[in-house]
Structure 1
Amino acid sequence: MEDHSRREILKEDSLGRVLRLRAEGSDRILREACGSWVPFTGWVARFLCRRERRALLKLEGLAGVPHLDPEDSGSGRELLRNHLPGAPLSQTIFLPRDYFDHLDALVEKVHARGVCHNDLHKEQNILVLPDGRPALLDFQLASVHTGLGRAFESRCEEDLRHLQKHRRRYTRDGRGSSEQSRGKGHGLKRRPLSLVWRRTGKPLYNFVTRKVLHTRDGEQRRPSSGPWPAWQEPLGPD
């Protein structure tokens, strides 16, 4: 592990810390699930750590998602992965014209591995790599499914629906063409299971994370007033 003087704390809350381990040519990200004085935070942190590792193991070898580091301990107390360079969607100043098409395709590849992200409403979980391609971060809330079913299909649609909301926001009011504004999530409606979560589970989740755990650091959402990213030449097919 790197010397402490070469560690940069990216985030710290009642569930633990996220650190960037700086080394020549290959920075890494360490998530420490240490919890705090708040009861049960250690258990919750370790649960989320194991949940993220399970998802990343299913996604091993897929471009555009974090990969577990060979030195990852495999424990529930920490997770070590590679660092993905780039800028969050909320902060990027350039976007390829077909960025959201590639983002849809990436999420569908994640779904094909039986994994749903479940936290794509946050722009900070969507990355723009230096070459303009998309990447996904923070799989703590991701779910791994062994077979098709209503829950899996509903969560897949929710992922795509959130991408459609981002796409629409970045292309409306003349910021993009009508072709750019419609993606895989266009026309998808909330399923009953999603509506139940929104009306019952989500308010409880928000209360616990904001009032009890104090882990909600706010969504890094681009202001409606902009500035909005400039469009660049499309990436083209993979």
Structure 2
Amino acid sequence: MPTPPETLTFVPETVHKRDVFSETISGHLAEDPDFKVVLRKLDGVPWWAKPIASFLARKEIRGLRTVEGIEGVPKLLRVDGEGLLRSWSHGTPLQLAKPDTADWYKDAKRLLREMRARGVTHNDIAKPQNWLRSPDGRAAVIDFQLASVHRRKGKLFRTMAREDLRHLLKQKRNFAPHLLTASEKRMLARKSLPTRIWMATGKRLYNFITRSLMSWSDGEGTEDRIARDGDAVRAALQGAGEVALFTYALPAKGVGIYAFVECDLDHASVRAMVPEDKAELVQPVTALPRRSDGSLREDALQLVATNRLDELELMMDNEPDLTPILKPIIAGRQNLTDRILKP
């Protein structure tokens, strides 16, 4: 007999993302440690963001309940004052999986078709990280915060469903352009009228609100902050231990400096040594990851600085010797956004 939702106990493990609207944490059920789950935590949202956070939560709840039973979507397990608990979707994000055979795209279309049959549009699958390739090679989709459930399948629904498909085709163009058909290429070339209006008007307001007011970041420039401020940061931290500097995306156009410091000091002590206008984030670590010749694993540290957990998991799977060093660094990371720095 299945466990009643109200008795499920969430055991947190890893914080994946944090913004003013929610915190996303993966973990498992106390009743079943092998059952991995995800909590969208809402009880820590600031009062001024609660109306929007509640609106997004209602959309996600309604969307997940409507698509329940479709192969490739998460299952909503519990909703309470803490937040939304759902099943973990096993798979590799698209930007890492890079599927280049027809089977995955065929199954992804199947998934969209079944969602469409229930009147659901996802509205956020332009992000490759919201698509997964499951261990058996099938398609899965996550993050239903912006999903819409349409009682009537009118013109708005058809337009939004078309945009979901067009965004899937954009992924296909990125990872398997040789598979695009002539009709798919024509669809990619034609944005819908609402999309064109949104790009010219609403998206500009959205970018201002999310980047400037909500501290989200997306597609910022790549000014060389390390060349400009790196020497000052290293001088401020002189004597603390070895310093490794990396950049990450800042809100409202810009890049920040993330400083890893190999030392025995706590975070407050290291933070007090360097001004925030020189290094926005600092993280003391017991040991920095290194190669056998002693050189720093800058590739791993850059992934930590930019909060790219999926790639770090893949790296540790391929190089198990890195796990003992990287795990505590990942657990203590300071950047918890899911935005990336684009060149």
TM-score bucket of the superposed structures, by smaller chain: 0.7 to 0.9
The Cα of 1:185 is off from its aligned counterpart by 4.7
Residues 195-206 of structure 1: matches in 2 within 5 Å? 195-206=196-207
Distance across 2 between alignment mates of 1:83 and 1:128: 13
Distance across 2 between alignment mates of 1:91 and 1:205: 28
The Cα of 1:165 is off from its aligned counterpart by 1.2
Q: Is the contact between residue 18 and residue 30 of structure 1 (CA under 8 Å) also seen in structure 2?
A: yes
Equivalent residue, structure 2, for 1:41:
49
Equivalent residue, structure 2, for 1:91:
96
Distance across 2 between alignment mates of 1:105 and 1:211: 38
* SS in structure 2 of the partner of residue 160 of structure 1: helix
Which is further off, 116-125 or 85-94? 85-94
Query: Could you tell me which of 28, 31, 37 is aligned with 2:37?
Result: 28
Structure 1: where are the runs of 5+ without partners? Answer: 221-238
* SS in structure 2 of the partner of residue 187 of structure 1: helix
Distance across 2 between alignment mates of 1:150 and 1:68: 29
Q: 1:183 to 1:161 in 2, by over 3 A?
A: farther
- 1:193 aligned onto 2:198: no
Equivalent residue, structure 2, for 1:166:
171
* SS in structure 2 of the partner of residue 26 of structure 1: strand
- 1:50 aligned onto 2:55: no
> C-alpha offsets along residues 169-196 of structure 1, whole Å, 9 cap, x if unaligned?
2123xxx3xxx22398542222222221
Q: 1:215 to 1:85 in 2, by over 3 A?
A: same
Q: Is the contact between residue 99 and residue 175 of structure 2 (CA under 8 Å) also seen in structure 1?
A: no
**Amino acid of the residue matched to residue 213 of structure 1?**
M
**Amino acid of the residue matched to residue 18 of structure 2?**
E
Distance across 1 between alignment mates of 2:182 and 2:146: 24
Distance across 2 between alignment mates of 1:216 and 1:80: 26
* SS in structure 1 of the partner of residue 76 of structure 2: coil
* Greater Rg over alpha carbons, structure: 2
Equivalent residue, structure 2, for 1:147:
152
Q: Is the contact between residue 63 and residue 148 of structure 2 (CA under 8 Å) also seen in structure 1?
A: yes
Q: Is the contact between residue 118 and residue 141 of structure 1 (CA under 8 Å) also seen in structure 2?
A: yes
**Amino acid of the residue matched to residue 166 of structure 1?**
Q
Distance across 2 between alignment mates of 1:158 and 1:116: 9
Equivalent residue, structure 1, for 2:111:
106
Structure 2: where are the runs of 5+ without partners? Answer: 1-8, 220-248, 250-307, 309-343
Distance across 1 between alignment mates of 2:182 and 2:89: 25
Residues 2-13 of structure 1: matches in 2 within 5 Å? 2-3=10-11, 6-13=12-19
Equivalent residue, structure 1, for 2:122:
117
**Amino acid of the residue matched to residue 194 of structure 2?**
L
**Amino acid of the residue matched to residue 73 of structure 1?**
V
Distance across 2 between alignment mates of 1:143 and 1:217: 23
Equivalent residue, structure 2, for 1:17:
23
Alignment RMSD, CA only?
Answer: 2.3
TM-score (norm 1): 0.79
Equivalent residue, structure 1, for 2:86:
81
**Amino acid of the residue matched to residue 27 of structure 2?**
L
- 1:65 aligned onto 2:73: yes
TM-score (norm 2): 0.56
Distance across 1 between alignment mates of 2:60 and 2:155: 22
Q: 1:25 to 1:184 in 2, by over 3 A?
A: farther
Name the structure with the higher helix share.
2
**Amino acid of the residue matched to residue 170 of structure 1?**
F
Q: Is the contact between residue 168 and residue 182 of structure 1 (CA under 8 Å) also seen in structure 2?
A: no
* SS in structure 2 of the partner of residue 210 of structure 1: helix
**Amino acid of the residue matched to residue 40 of structure 1?**
W
